[in-house]
A and B are shown apart, each in its own frame.
Chain A
Amino acid sequence: MKPYREIPYEEILADGGRKYLGYFCSYVPEEIFHAAGYTPVRLFPRPRPLGRADAHFPVNSCSLARSCLELALSKTGEAFSAYAFAHTCDTMQCLADVFRCSLPEKAVFNFIGPVNREAAGAKEFLLRQLEALLRQVEAAAGVKITQSRLTKSIKTYNKLRQQLDQLNRRRGDMPAGEFFRLVEAAMLLPGEEALELIKGSRAHLEEAAPHAFQPAGKEAPGLYLHGGMLYDLSLASFIEERGGRVVGDNLCSGTRYFSRPIVKPVAGEGPLEALADRYLQRLPCAAKHPTLDDNEGHLTREAGGLGAAGVVFLHDIFCDPHSWDLVVLQNSLKSAGIPYISIQMDHMGLTEQIGNRLQAFIERLKGDA
């Protein structure tokens, strides 16, 4: 099956009747935009030569930012009605300003959530930000986001994330590339279409014989992927082709997208409070976690609990938040006796050198020599 990332954005954005919203981060509350009539479409870096973007950002800055800016400034980018950012780092903050200046005809939203999710007043701050965002979206879309509209959108994304969460429980029974492809599809396609696609894949999995998928035998070392976005789906397939298997992940375009899947208001609270609760309880990432200890503890618990033989750190070569956390995370794995490798990628994806390092890491875990 063809990975969705390989389908050009021209095809993803083909329905002229839709108002497409390009968004950057899994912390963007898609439900609010969906309730206002936007179709949220995640912005993924693509292996494209960069020209226009380099007028705004130096080449040693985040390639996710540069590659997506290139898309936005291209003819294809004209299909987007609006863009949404979640404030995660200085680059994203500056990128939002570049979008505002360079694309004055588009609505640009910058959602600022708390970095330390357990800080005093974090929920109150977050609620104020969500309310402000909701008002901005209403004004830009010319639509009143009623409580029932928002609740309906929340239900759509609840179902989508729940399906992905169920799929995650069976990920050992399917190729890793296929799992990540479906998570990407959930972020690229209209919510309702993605839901049908994932339901279909789940049904297919249920019909398959147990343990029908054996990527490289029982002795294949399990790898846990940790970091930012998976820039290239073929990396997951490459791991399996070279004798490894993926046992779990904490990636922005993987499990982090659907972690803590259900948004449900508790008694006396409204839908925004429920959205805030999910934000505060999701998997930690380099840009959003209560403390570094929390991120570190989560990684060693997860990797150890899933029986991972090693951890592969995957992040953009110029990503500051992930680079800052990397040393502490590596030290925690060293203490736990879990081998790791750090792979830094750019938008051009899996290169010969990266493949070589991954294969050597798998050989090391297998004790090949």
Chain B
Amino acid sequence: MLALGIDVGSLTAEAVLINQAKEVLAGCILPTGANSRRAGEGDLAAALAQSGKQRGDIGFVVATGYGRISLDFAGKQVTEITCHARGIHHLRPEVRTLIDIGGQDSKAIRVSSRGRVLDFIMNDKCAAGTGRFLEVMAGALEMELDQLAAGGSRAKASVPISSMCTVFAESEVVSLLAADHPRENIIRGIHEAIALRTAGMLRRIGLEEPLAMSGGVAKNSGVVRALEEQLGCSIFVPEEPQIVGALGAALIALDHLQVFGGEGEAGALGD
């Protein structure tokens, strides 16, 4: 029997399908859109198509992320904090601290030698420094989100962004463009603003190396580099950082399968 983890976040929904040997058979990333359940079902269909498996092959499903409650076909709901810790432990067991920056929140997680959450901290009232923040800034700069990292790497200097409120920061970026600051320098300033905020969160929880980063923002090498400079240490970024939460969910689903089996249970999808 296979184990499926689905992570429905605010911007994207990811799925990871694994077998009993913990080999990844499918890993999918789709936009969440307005309907979390539909996004989860889309992920399920994509994972089946990618792996060539059938619904009946899936023994247990664990849902995570903000949309996890909407996935009534999942047998268990677990927070993404627990799932990211579990996922990164599988990929790099020596990691002791994890930064996860997703679409609307950022988290610093201390991870035990067994992949358990020792402590965590996260933003709660404000989306500054998250994926949505970068998306809005890219819009203000009239660029695609995935062009930001390359743009920032060409910067000769940094233009500090003083506003951390996403709306005010957007106005600030528009003003800086109007004042003829090079776009690349503004991008570096944006990356440094996110790094500064994230480093503060890490220092509050206590950074223990090795440090890793997951979530969509980890794909932006400019943010990762700025954070490394802030902290004075290197950061491990998995090959596909966006699916770490879904991978952790799949591993928890596999645990469940190995203890309880999957036949006829809630969370087993059937034919």
Contacts and interface: CB of A to CB of B under 8 A. Distances in A.
Interface of A: 317, 339, 344, 351-354, 356-357, 359-360, 363-364, 367-369
Contact of B117 (A352, A356, A360): A360
Interface string B65-90: 01000000000001111100110000
Q: Which 7 residue pairs of A and B lie closest in terms of their CB atoms, listed nearest first?
A: A360-B81, A360-B79, A364-B117, A353-B124, A363-B82, A369-B116, A369-B86
Given A364-B117, A367-B116, A354 B82 contact: no
B115 interface: yes
B252 A368 contact: yes
A364 B82 contact: yes
B252 A353 contact: no
B197 interface: no
Interface of B: 66, 78-82, 85-86, 105, 114-120, 122, 124-125, 248, 252
Given A353-B124, A369-B86, A363 B66 contact: no
Contact of A356 (B79, B118, B125): B79
A248 B183 CA distance: 56
B230 to A, nearest CB: 24
Contacts of B85: 369
Nearest to B107: A360
A161 B111 CA distance: 45
A363 B105 contact: no
B124 A368 contact: no
A317 B125 contact: yes
B82 A369 contact: yes
B252 A369 contact: yes
Main SS at interface, chain A: helix
A369 B105 contact: no
Contacts of A354: 124
Contacts of A352: 66
The DSSP consensus for interface residues of chain B is mixed
A359 B79 contact: yes
B86 A363 contact: no
Given A360-B79, A363-B79, A353 B114 contact: no
A360 B120 contact: yes
Contacts of A363: 78-79, 81-82, 117
A354 B118 CA distance: 18
A360 B78 CA distance: 8
B79 A369 contact: no
Nearest to B255: A369
Given A352-B66, A360-B117, 19 more contacts: A339-B119, A353-B124, A353-B125, A354-B124, A356-B81, A357-B122, A359-B79, A360-B120, A363-B79, A363-B81, A364-B116, A364-B117, A364-B119, A364-B120, A369-B85, A369-B86, A369-B114, A369-B117, A369-B252
Nearest to B117: A364
Nearest to B82: A363
Contacts of B125: 317, 353
Nearest to A345: B124
A367 B120 CA distance: 14
A339 B66 CA distance: 24
A339 B118 CA distance: 9
A301 B251 CA distance: 38
11 contacts: A344-B124, A357-B122, A360-B81, A360-B82, A360-B117, A363-B81, A364-B117, A368-B78, A369-B86, A369-B117, A369-B248
B124 A357 contact: yes
Contacts of B78: 363, 368
B164 to A, nearest CB: 14
Given A364-B116, A369-B114, A369-B252, A356 B66 contact: yes
A321 B82 CA distance: 32
Contact of A353 (B86, B105, B248): B105
Contacts of B118: 364
Contacts of A368: 78, 82, 252
A367 B117 CA distance: 8
Contacts of A353: 105, 122, 124-125
